[in-house]
């Protein structure tokens, strides 16, 4: 029984250490990078500083209406699409219907 309790305590300590390291990017404090919280080698652990939230413009797919980041969307004829197949469907629908929404 004492061995089981010892393993449980050790497991809890390991869990808490891993959880704490995950919170600060997993680089153990400053990690030799000036303490800015960024891991320059792998690009992981890069959280925006408080008050500096990185946001992306979201756009709706002209075919199905799903919102995707503008940087990941496919554009054609001034419209945004979520996939290549929706872009093709949207372009063909615009050509046939004279630019009305295909829905």
d(CA 2, CA 10): 12
Please report the pLDDT score of residue 81 as a whole number: 93
Please report the pLDDT score of residue 96 as a whole number: 45
* pLDDT tens profile 18-69: 888 876 554 544 544 444 555 455 555 666 666 666 788 999 999 999 999 9
pLDDT at position 11 over 80:
yes
* pLDDT tens profile 71-94: 999 988 889 999 999 988 877 776
Q: Provide the Cα torsion 79, 84, 89, 95; round to 10°.
A: 50
Both tokens assigned to 68: 């995707």
d(CA 90, CA 96): 10
d(CA 12, CA 14): 5
List the chain domain ranges: 1-40, 58-97
Please report the pLDDT score of residue 67 as a whole number: 94
3-state secondary structure 42-95: CCCCCCCCCCCCCCCCEEECCCCCCEEEHHHCEEECCEEECCHHHHHHHHHHHH
């Amino acid at each position: 029984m004492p061995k089981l309790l010892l393993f449980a305590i050790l497991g809890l300590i390991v869990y808490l250490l891993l959880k704490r390291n995950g919170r600060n990017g997993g680089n153990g404090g400053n990690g030799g990078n000036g303490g800015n919280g960024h891991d320059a080698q792998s690009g992981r652990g890069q959280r925006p500083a408080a008050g500096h939230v990185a946001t992306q413009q979201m756009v709706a797919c002209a075919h199905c209406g799903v919102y995707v980041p503008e940087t990941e969307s496919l554009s054609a004829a001034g419209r945004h699409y979520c996939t290549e197949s929706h872009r093709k469907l949207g372009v063909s629908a615009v050509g046939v219907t004279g630019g009305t929404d295909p829905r």
